[in-house]
Amino acid sequence: MDPAPKDFEPLPEKVRPMLATPGRLPASDEGWAYEIKWDGVRAITFVEGGRIRMRSRNEKELASSFPEFREIGVAMGTRPCVLDGEIVVIGEGGIPDFGRLQHRLHLASTSAIGKQSAASPASYVIFDLLHLDGRPLFSLPYDARREQLEALGLSGSSYTTADSFRDAKGADILRATKDAGLEGVIAKQRSSPYVQGKRSDSWIKVKNVRTQEVV
């Protein structure tokens, strides 16, 4: 095995997710990218030596609850990385079903977890790359991190790389999510670094407003 380069940095023990600020779409689309807001559970995934560990925002270990995500480690092989994404369980009509996901989070026995992973398979939607091949990427702008993430081609039966709509109209993306019954969008400033544990104005979550008629 070749020795690690001198500037190689091991994976961090933990990463605090960057958080979005609730708000409205940016006044101008210039310099912004748009991603779908998924109704799931945020998870940071550490991949090393073909194995994974997953942590929720409150540092709960998640990998044992979702054995289907082991294939992410297989796909990365010997390349260490840290990924940021959302765990979802897709229900009827292709809409995330948070209730089914929540049920899976509460399972403890290996047999029950195995049954539910077949009955209610989860998907890991990856939207950011924070560490790769011994190099931390937090300080890089969004566009540079997305470029490296997309170059990995991460897509499998239980995981996928989230779409990033750049050079697009935020209003069009938000309308499309509403028509599809999805929660909304996250607007991300394309020049922004990844700021751990902070709720930043560089990320804005815009939810679709649900209305109902009252008689």
Residue positions annotated with a catalytic role = 37
Q: For 93, left (φ over 0), alpha (ψ -120 to 50), or beta?
A: left
Helices (H), 38-120: 70-76, 98-105, 110-119
Short-list 140, 143, 138, CA closest to 31: 143
The per-residue b/e assignment along 47-60, b for 16 or more CB within 10 angstroms, e otherwise, is bbeeebbbbeeeee
Beta-strand relationship, 19-22 and 199-207: parallel
